[in-house]
């Protein structure tokens, strides 16, 4: 008899708001101090800046015909509730720069002194200077243990006013340093250049070696940054629905994007940036294509965006496909759900070869297919992985590595990640017949058997699984309004754009995709509206999270979408060890990503293995304790053994008898010899469509499971293998009418709860609750919105 404690009877009401992950939006620089075109009056102009350590980029700018001749700065620090305190003022000027040159010193002298940031001296003499302010930039911590605010002013001096002090001083410098005329020429010339001080952060690697930071100086001519216009490239052929530039005031490419052009490393990158800027100036909805993305150039620019137009920067070349006769036969088989699905895995990696080989060791099967994309910049890694695969899998012809000429430098936030995935999918489609494509990274691990994944997906051929978010709101999700493009290893914020009729959806990058949809995804033979949509998606914010879901939802495959993922992600972190933005080297934005699993996460990983098959991310160290523990659990099939310890022999016998009874109805003369295998599987698409909305909202109490049984049966003297899929009744119900849409009943207590007992809100793949509980918890899901007609029809059929 169950004792019901009224004071512990709980009703849980869930109010669910679907929102995107919040990211701090990168605002444009303060334009007050970034005026280039200004009346040329006076020998000097002074501009002041307040620069924060949290700023993603900093720009010092003098007006046209001026250069930075002096920098003075100090740090302000607020300690607790006290008012701000200040470090000593430091000054760099042309005179100190000349003195350092004469003495053979440089801007790195004087490190580790309070309030110093000697790297700033490298800005002296230039028309403008761009950098990312940080301890690494200063090559020391100017004010240890405090968040830095830099109060800085620059003195801008006219370039060559004859008869004035600066010009006379240049003459004197030439007289003093005749032995180094090239250096003096550069000192005079650099006032017509823009300086970019670049460095690679080590903070995301957990290192604070500030003094070892390498500062790379990149100079660009002033006219290549400020004096560029779209009319200058009018002879280049843009294609599609391209308008015209209405006036000279509209064509201000250089003045609009100079903070981007000034940070590029190559002329080719600046050319691409300018073409994208101009393409969106000609059509704010992305229907005008820049020349560098076009496969061929017809005689007229007034050409529709049509088939086979985009070149390899955007889309893969479509190769031959295998004959799909047998593939189609499986779909027609009445027992399709009992035929294990064949999988095509594509894996992106850029480091940690041994970790990749551990992942392959978990998932390699002769019936599946595997494609590995190694970052284009990692030649040695690609070669080493190829040798390891040849050594470990010498006779396997179902695994390939994308060659370098078809590879991409897939940095965070770039379209190259999506482009690398498209290339892998294209290769999988050429290799053989499979039902689903599964994307992984080299730092993922399997937490369930890949065989279980094949069994789980068998009934759902043709469906694509991902965890979709709501359509993006252009009025709120500001990064989506901007145009993004990667070149020189960095994703730049180029310009802005207008919304289109087609919507932008976002989803986790990790999904499982039906073969038919992937073939459509990599093809340029799409309907016209989807072809026109491509460039808009390619230049979107974080394309690997928006490209696939946006095409899926607005193509003929939208009905194949299934909400869910097979990947368990560790919680996301947005900051490095100094609590500053991550991925600042990769993109003009604050990036986020999953944290690395640690030993304390192992129970959570094990708990999620009821529903998920992969987890990320793990340390790249192949001897990491957490990694080895997860690998060991899978090698020993710990999950299945734990489930079989809970599923009693009587229950297994009952399920087997039910399967045999079904066989008798169809074949009459089967008899059971022995049970070979029992597997516990999640049901990613439930049998009750009324549970769809609670499932999409993340309500774990409406999860469904099934049992995959294989047994040896006898037909006279002939032994055969019988297979069955059984779905137990779960401890939840879903309804189409009223405000109560789902209920879950359990006596299970949350083992992690402290103090007052609380219910375990998850549904388990066990058709009973443990005995001995003295509390019954009832969880209700309330929703006042209308349910789907499919839900109503299902409910009606059930009770007719």
Assign 3-class secondary structure to 714-774. EECCEEEEEEEEECCCCCEEECCCCCEEEEEEECCECCCCCCCCCECCCCCCCCCCCCCCC
Are 347 and 445 in a shared domain? Answer: yes
Q: Which of 101-115, 357-371, 717-731, 764-778 bottoms out in mean pLDDT, i.e. has the lowest?
A: 101-115
As a whole-number percent, the residues of the chain with pLDDT over 70 amount to 84
Q: How many domains does the chain have?
A: 4
Q: Is the peptide bond before 374 cis (omega within 30 degrees of 0)?
A: no
Check whether 26 has a pLDDT greater than 50.
no
Residue 318, in any domain of the structure: no
The arithmetic mean of pLDDT across residues 31-41, rounded, is: 69
Check whether 276 has a pLDDT greater than 50.
yes
Report helix, strand or coil for 476.
Answer: coil
Residue 11, in any domain of the structure: no
Q: What is the mean pLDDT of the chain?
A: 84
Q: Left (φ > 0), alpha (ψ -120 to 50) or beta: where does 738 sit?
A: left
Exposure of 525 by Cβ count < 10 A (0-12 exposed, 13-18 middle, 19+ buried)? exposed
Q: Tokens for 312?
A: 């390899």
Q: Is the peptide bond before 719 cis (omega within 30 degrees of 0)?
A: no
The residue that leads in pLDDT, 314 or 698, is: 314
Check whether 765 has a pLDDT greater than 70.
yes
pLDDT value at residue 22: 29
DSSP state of 587: B
Q: How many CA atoms lie within 13 A of 91 on its CB side?
A: 7
Show which of 615, 636, 657 is a domain's final residue. 636
Check whether 380 has a pLDDT greater than 80.
yes
The arithmetic mean of pLDDT across residues 495-514, rounded, is: 91
The residue that leads in pLDDT, 105 or 692, is: 692
8 A C-beta contact, residue 461 and residue 563: no
Q: What's the pTM value of the predicted model, to 2 decimals?
A: 0.88
Which single residue is written with the structure tokens 């990599």? 522
Residue 12, in any domain of the structure: no
Give the Cβ contact number of residue 739 at 10 Å: 12
Are 614 and 504 in a shared domain? Answer: yes
Are 657 and 629 in a shared domain? Answer: no
- How do strand 614-616 and strand 445-446 relate by DSSP bridges? antiparallel
Q: Where are the alpha helices (DSSP H) in 283-414?
A: 325-332, 353-363, 379-392
Are 657 and 588 in a shared domain? Answer: no
DSSP state of 145: T
Residue 302, in any domain of the structure: no
Q: Given pLDDT bands bounded at 50, 70 and 90, which one contains residue 514?
A: very high
Report helix, strand or coil for 481.
Answer: helix
Across 17-21, 354-358, 465-469, the highest mean pLDDT is recorded for: 354-358
Residue 147, in any domain of the structure: yes
The closest alpha carbon to 314, from 416, 467, 217, belongs to 416
Q: Given pLDDT bands bounded at 50, 70 and 90, which one contains residue 665?
A: low
Q: Which of 368-377, 569-578, 608-617, 630-639 bottoms out in mean pLDDT, i.e. has the lowest?
A: 569-578
Q: Left (φ > 0), alpha (ψ -120 to 50) or beta: where does 128 sit?
A: beta
Q: Given pLDDT bands bounded at 50, 70 and 90, which one contains residue 790?
A: confident
Are 749 and 780 in a shared domain? Answer: yes
pLDDT value at residue 409: 95
pLDDT tens figures, 687-711: 888 888 888 787 888 888 999 999 9
Main-chain dihedrals φ then ψ at residue 665, nearest 5 degrees = -65, -30
Check whether 31 has a pLDDT greater than 50.
no
The closest alpha carbon to 769, from 744, 799, 736, belongs to 744
DSSP string, 73-105: EEEEEE-TTSPEEEPPPEEEEHHHHHHHHHHT-
The closest alpha carbon to 741, from 797, 800, 701, belongs to 701
pLDDT value at residue 800: 56
Are 564 and 698 in a shared domain? Answer: no
Residue 329, in any domain of the structure: no
Are 570 and 657 in a shared domain? Answer: no
Which single residue is written with the structure tokens 């939802």? 553
Main-chain dihedrals φ then ψ at residue 91, nearest 5 degrees = -130, 130
- How do strand 740-746 and strand 44-52 relate by DSSP bridges? unpaired
Q: Given pLDDT bands bounded at 50, 70 and 90, which one contains residue 336?
A: very high
pLDDT value at residue 320: 93
Euclidean distance between CA atoms 788 and 689, whole angstroms: 8
Q: Which of 28-37, 241-250, 290-299, 775-784 bottoms out in mean pLDDT, i.e. has the lowest?
A: 28-37
Q: Residue 303, Cα to own-chain centre: how many angstroms? A: 34
- Measure the CA dihedral 276/279/283/287, to 10°: -80
Main-chain dihedrals φ then ψ at residue 202, nearest 5 degrees = -110, 0
Show which of 614, 636, 658 is a domain's final residue. 636
The closest alpha carbon to 568, from 508, 616, 633, belongs to 616
Euclidean distance between CA atoms 109 and 158, whole angstroms: 29
Are 349 and 363 in a shared domain? Answer: yes
Q: Given pLDDT bands bounded at 50, 70 and 90, which one contains residue 98?
A: low
Q: Which of 2-6, 110-114, 406-410 bottoms out in mean pLDDT, i.e. has the lowest?
A: 2-6
Euclidean distance between CA atoms 6 and 658, whole angstroms: 39
The arithmetic mean of pLDDT across residues 349-370, rounded, is: 96
The arithmetic mean of pLDDT across residues 666-693, rounded, is: 85
The Cα-based distances of 189 to 35, 42, 163, 185 in angstroms read: 22, 21, 19, 6
Are 614 and 692 in a shared domain? Answer: no
CATH number, domain at 419? 3.90.550
Q: How many CA atoms lie within 13 A of 338 on its CB side?
A: 14
Residues near 752 by Cβ (< 8 Å), separated by ≥ 6? Answer: none
Are 415 and 288 in a shared domain? Answer: no
8 A C-beta contact, residue 725 and residue 705: no
The closest alpha carbon to 47, from 33, 29, 64, 58, belongs to 33
pLDDT value at residue 369: 98
pLDDT value at residue 148: 86
Show which of 577, 605, 636 is a domain's final residue. 636
Are 199 and 236 in a shared domain? Answer: no
Are 611 and 683 in a shared domain? Answer: no
Q: Which of 160-174, 437-451, 743-757, 775-789 bottoms out in mean pLDDT, i.e. has the lowest?
A: 160-174
Residue 579, in any domain of the structure: yes
Euclidean distance between CA atoms 318 and 263, whole angstroms: 36
Range of the domain at 43: 34-224
Q: Tokens for 501?
A: 């009729």
Euclidean distance between CA atoms 26 and 28, whole angstroms: 7
Exposure of 637 by Cβ count < 10 A (0-12 exposed, 13-18 middle, 19+ buried)? middle
Residue 331, in any domain of the structure: no
pLDDT value at residue 7: 29
The residue that leads in pLDDT, 407 or 571, is: 407
């Amino acid at each position: 008899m169950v004792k019901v404690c009224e004071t512990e009877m709980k009703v849980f009401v869930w109010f669910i708001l679907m929102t995107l992950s919040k990211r701090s939006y990168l605002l444009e620089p303060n334009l007050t101090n970034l005026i280039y075109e200004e009346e040329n009056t006076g020998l000097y102009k002074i501009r002041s800046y307040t620069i924060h350590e949290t700023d993603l980029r900093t720009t010092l700018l003098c007006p046209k015909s001026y250069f930075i001749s002096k920098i003075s700065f100090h740090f302000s620090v607020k300690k607790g509730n006290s008012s701000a305190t200040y470090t000593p003022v430091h000054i760099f000027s042309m005179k100190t720069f000349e003195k350092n040159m004469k003495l053979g010193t440089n801007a790195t002298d004087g490190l580790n002194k309070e309030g110093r940031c000697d790297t700033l001296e490298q800005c002296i003499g230039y028309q403008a200077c761009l950098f990312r302010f940080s301890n690494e930039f200063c090559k020391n911590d100017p004010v240890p243990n405090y968040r830095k605010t830099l109060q800085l002013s620059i003195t801008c001096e006219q370039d060559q006013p004859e008869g004035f002090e600066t010009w006379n001083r240049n003459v004197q410098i030439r007289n003093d340093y005749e032995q180094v005329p090239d250096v003096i020429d550069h000192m005079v010339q650099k006032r017509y250049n823009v300086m970019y001080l670049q460095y690679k952060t080590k903070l995301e690697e957990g290192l604070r070696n500030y003094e070892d930071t390498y500062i790379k100086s990149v100079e660009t001519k002033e006219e290549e940054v400020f004096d560029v216009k779209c009319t200058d490239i009018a002879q280049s052929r843009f294609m599609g629905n391209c308008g015209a530039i209405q006036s000279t005031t509209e064509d201000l490419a250089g003045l609009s994007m100079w903070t981007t052009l000034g940070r590029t490393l190559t002329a080719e990158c600046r050319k691409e940036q300018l073409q994208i800027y101009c393409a969106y100036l000609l059509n704010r909805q992305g229907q005008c294509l820049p020349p560098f993305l076009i496969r061929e150039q017809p005689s007229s620019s007034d050409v529709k965006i049509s088939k086979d137009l985009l070149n390899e920067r955007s889309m893969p070349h479509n190769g031959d496909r295998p004959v799909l006769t047998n593939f189609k036969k499986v779909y027609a088989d009445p027992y399709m759900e009992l035929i294990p699905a064949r999988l095509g895995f594509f894996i992106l990696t850029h480091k940690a070869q041994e970790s990749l080989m551990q992942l392959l060791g978990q998932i390699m099967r002769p019936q599946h297919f595997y494609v590995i994309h190694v970052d284009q910049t990692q030649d040695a890694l690609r070669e080493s992985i190829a040798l390891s695969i040849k050594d470990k899998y010498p006779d396997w012809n179902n695994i390939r590595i994308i060659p370098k000429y078809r590879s991409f430098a897939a940095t965070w936030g770039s379209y190259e990640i999506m482009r690398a995935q498209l290339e892998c999918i294209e290769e999988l489609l050429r290799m053989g017949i499979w039902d689903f494509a599964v994307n992984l990274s080299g730092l993922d691990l399997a937490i369930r058997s890949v065989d279980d994944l094949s069994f789980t997906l068998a009934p759902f051929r043709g469906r694509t699984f991902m965890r979709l978010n709501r359509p993006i709101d252009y009025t709120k999700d500001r990064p989506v309004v901007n145009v993004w493009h990667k070149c020189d290893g960095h994703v730049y914020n180029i310009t802005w754009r207008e919304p289109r009729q087609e919507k932008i959806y976002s989803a986790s990058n990790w999904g499982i995709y039906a073969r038919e949809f992937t073939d459509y995804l990599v093809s340029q033979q799409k309907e016209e509206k989807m072809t026109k949509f491509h460039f808009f998606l390619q230049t979107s914010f974080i394309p690997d999270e928006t490209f696939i879901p946006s095409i899926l939802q607005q193509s003929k495959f939208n009905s194949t979408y299934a909400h869910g993922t097979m990947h368990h992600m560790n919680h996301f972190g947005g900051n490095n060890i100094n609590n500053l933005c991550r991925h600042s080297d990769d993109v003009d934005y604050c990036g986020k990503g999953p944290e690395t699993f640690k030993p304390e996460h192992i129970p959570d990983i094990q708990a999620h293995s009821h529903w998920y098959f992969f987890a990320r991310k793990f340390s790249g160290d192949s001897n990491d304790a957490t990694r080895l523990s997860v690998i060991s659990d899978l090698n020993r099939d710990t999950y299945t053994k734990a489930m079989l310890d809970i599923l009693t022999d009587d229950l297994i016998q009952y399920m087997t008898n039910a399967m045999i009874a079904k066989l008798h109805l169809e074949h009459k003369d089967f008899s059971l010899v022995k049970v070979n295998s029992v597997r516990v599987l999640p049901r990613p698409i439930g049998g009750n469509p009324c549970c769809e909305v609670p499932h999409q909202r993340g309500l774990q109490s409406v999860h469904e499971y099934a049992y995959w049984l294989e047994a040896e049966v006898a037909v006279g003297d002939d032994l055969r293998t019988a297979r069955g899929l059984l779905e137990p009744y779960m401890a939840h119900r879903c309804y189409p009418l009223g405000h109560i849409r789902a209920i879950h009943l359990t006596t299970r207590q949350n083992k992690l709860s402290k103090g007052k007992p609380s219910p375990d809100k998850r549904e388990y793949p066990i058709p009973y609750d443990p005995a001995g509980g003295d509390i019954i918890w009832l969880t209700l899901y309330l929703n006042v919105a209308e349910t789907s007609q499919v839900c109503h029809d299902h409910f009606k059929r059930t009770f007719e």
